A = this chain, B = another copy of it.
Amino acid sequence: MIRFECDYGEGAHPKVMELLEKTNWEQTPGYGCDPWCEKARQQILKACKAPDAEVQFVVGGTQANQMVIASILRPFEGAVSATSGHINVHETGAVEATGHKILALPEKDGKISAEQIEKCFIEYEESPTQEHVVKPGIVYISQPTEYGTTYSKKELEEIYGVCKEHKVPLFIDGARLSYALAAEDSDLQLPDMARLCDIFYIGGTKVGCLFGEAIVFTDRKYADGFRMIMKQHGGMLAKGRLLGVQFSALFTDGLYEEIGRYADSLAIEVKKALKNKGIPLYYESSTNQQFFILTDEQWAKLADKYAFSDNGPVEGGRLLRICTSWATKKEDVAGLVAEIENL
């Protein structure tokens, strides 16, 4: 069985493992107050061209989402999100567990628009029963989205413009950010991300690390008290230096960008094969996730050999997803492309 169903099926990129191994006997203080975290912090700030930002490292994405939102919102505020947002449908109510409603807006290709967000703000501001409704207190989007699609620089500028006008912080889930930045049609790089939101995170779990997300508070005021929130949520790793070590490896010699390019290029090969074969793509993605519809017959031909993510029956067959990553082997992609051609 060759697994394409997710981008967290293996361990860590060899260069990350190597540094973990190499530093294993070093003695450091705990909880992220060690030289490796400090080094990785500086590497990230440099890559983001954001010398005044603050960086905190946490183990996983659900933690990052839950803790950032819980830290920033007052009790009567909620988080604006696409209906398809990870926080709205794949975290077992983690945000609500901290007391906050998610104000879900209908998505289009996994995205929400500046116009929708502005309308949401204005409806609240003009509500005759404002004290009875939840105040939009943060906007949450993902880059790339759950469907592999991406926000363009223009879209992001518009969204952030609306957020700033209405004084609501913008928070970007970058669990797979590398794959968005590396996309052929991307016009955004790390410094753009840092410039166009208040908080975002650079995912490591799905981009070469064993685990880990680096949260960047481009406006430091939003980091106030965050480390206490981390500890309170069990999100402060005892051996915090493991996060520093891994992100330091990722931000050495362009490994982070390299992984994104590598995985995207393999996904695009599959996408091209699907297109050539006339197999319908469900979303127009240029990142490491590709969604497409196979007839039951087509799927039967592949299912024994390949693990895809199965999103159930849709019109025309089954909605399937493949993911690529740093660990995807070129020969496995070539093999899959050949199989697609023969469907």
Chain A interface residues (CB < 8 Å from chain B): 1-3, 6, 8-12, 14, 17, 20-21, 23-31, 59-67, 70-71, 74-76, 78, 89-94, 96-102, 128-129, 131-135, 205-206, 210-211, 225, 227-239, 242, 310, 312, 327
Name the residue of chain B whose CB is nearest to the CB of A104.
B104
Q: Which residues of B contact A100 (CB under 8 A)?
A: 93, 96
Bound form: Cα–Cα A28–B11 in Å: 9
Do most interface residues of chain A lie in helix, strand or loop, or is the interface mixed?
loop
* A237 engages B60 (CB within 8 Å): yes
By the criterion CB–CB under 8 Å, are B30 and A6 in contact?
yes
CB distance from A86 to the nearest CB of B (A): 9
Establish whether residues B237 and A59, one from each chain, have CB atoms under 8 Å apart when the complex forms. Answer: yes
* Contact A310 B128, beta carbon cutoff 8 Å: yes
Q: How far is the CB of A42 from chain B (nearest CB, A)?
A: 21
Bound Cα distance from A312 to B128, whole angstroms: 9
Q: Is the CB of A233 within 8 A of B231?
A: no
Output the least CB separation between A37 and chain B (Å).
Answer: 14
Q: List 28 A–B pairs whose Cβ atoms lie within 8 Å, in order of A's numbering.
A: A3-B27, A8-B238, A9-B27, A9-B30, A10-B27, A10-B239, A14-B24, A17-B21, A17-B24, A59-B237, A62-B231, A63-B234, A65-B234, A71-B75, A75-B97, A76-B225, A91-B232, A92-B231, A93-B99, A93-B100, A94-B232, A96-B100, A98-B99, A101-B102, A128-B312, A205-B238, A211-B238, A211-B242
| Bound-state Cα–Cα, A102 to B324, Å | 34
Additional A-B contact list (20), CB under 8 Å, known A17-B24, A21-B21, A93-B100:
A9-B30, A10-B25, A11-B23, A11-B242, A62-B234, A75-B228, A76-B225, A76-B229, A91-B132, A92-B133, A92-B232, A93-B232, A94-B231, A96-B99, A96-B101, A97-B99, A128-B310, A132-B231, A206-B238, A211-B237
| Cβ-defined partner of A132 (8 Å) among B9, B65, B92, B235 | B92
Of the residues B24, B62, B327, contact of A10 by C-beta under 8 Å: B24
A239→B11 contact, CB < 8 A:
yes
Which of B31, B96, B233 is within 8 Å of A131, CB to CB?
Answer: B31
Checking B2, B89, B239 against A8 with a beta-carbon cut-off of 8 angstroms, the contacting residue is: B239
Q: Which of A29, A92, A97, A239 has the most CB of B within 10 A?
A: A92
Contacts of A133 in B (CB 8 A): 89-90, 92
Chain B contacts for A89, CB-based, 8 A: 133
Q: How near does chain B come to A60, taking the closest CB pair, in angstroms?
A: 6
